[in-house]
Amino acid sequence: MTEPRVVLVHGWGFGPEFWGPLRERLSRPDVSVADLGFFGGGHGLAPAELAAFCQAGGPVLAVGHSLGFLWLASQVTLPAGSFLAGINAFGCFAARPDFSAGVAPRLLGRMAQGLDRAALTVVNDFRTRCGGGALPAQTMPDSAALADGLQLLREGDARTALAGMGTNMAVLAAEDDPIVPPAMTKDSLPAAAALTWTQGGHLLPQTAPDTCVAFLNRCRQTMRERQP
């Protein structure tokens, strides 16, 4: 059986290096990573390259952490036979009339305004709330790319697209996630989504990499079993 291509997409305020602990444990070396450009880019597939990568060739196991999952679900058309895997993921982040479990849009707006004055402070405040470490003072965030990410968090809604994926999707979520609480996870994903719960906060690829690898191996096995 042909092994599916694998691509990893990080979340807001992080970069390709976020996947380090998980990549060290994956049993295959040919894993592609995205770089959404929050810190200048150039260390993985840029957004346009990522979309082209996903659409070219055979099925892909597309893995998104947090915003990365929403990006994949709303910005990319995956080839037939692909599988979408989310870690600390959601199909909608900001609250709206039919989604009360989301974050108040004004909070995202406040973060966006802060990018113009002190982008690194905004990023580090968020990383601290996630349970991650602050970036060095010499780090140069890309305010425009970060603002684009916040706009997707504020306006993005992939619930309809995800519902159309049927069983070609699974999510690993943390019951103690301070950014994506259980209610947001459940209410933003279709009932058909395979949902696995664990502990480890919002940064599961770093705090529970072995659990994440086991989850992705199950996703890969599902893809193998469905190959004609």
Per-residue pLDDT of the chain (228 residues; tens, 9 = 90+): 577 889 999 999 999 999 999 999 987 767 999 999 999 878 899 998 988 888 888 899 999 999 999 999 999 889 989 999 999 999 999 999 999 999 999 999 999 999 999 999 999 999 999 998 899 999 999 999 999 999 999 999 999 999 998 889 999 999 999 999 999 999 999 988 899 999 999 999 999 999 999 999 999 999 988 877
Alpha helices in 131-190 (DSSP H): 143-155, 159-163, 182-188
The dihedrals phi and psi of 72, each to the nearest 5 degrees, come to -60, -40
Q: Which of 130, 135, 176 is nearest to 40 (CA)?
A: 135
Tokens (6 digits) for 153: 């968090």
CA angle 164, 26, 219 (to 5 degrees): 25
Sign, Cα dihedral of 223, 68, 44, 131: negative
- One-letter amino acid identity for 62? A
| Domain boundaries of the chain, sorted by first residue | 5-92+157-226
- CATH T-level assignment (fold) for domain 5-92+157-226: Rossmann fold (3.40.50)
Which helix (H) or strand (E) is 62 found in, with range?
Answer: strand 60-65
- pLDDT value, residue 2: 72
Q: Are strands 83-87 and 60-65 parallel, antiparallel or unpaired?
A: parallel
Cβ-contact 200, 176 below 8 angstroms: yes
Virtual torsion, Cα 60, 168, 194, 54, nearest 10 deg:
30
- One-letter amino acid identity for 1? M
- One-letter amino acid identity for 206? Q
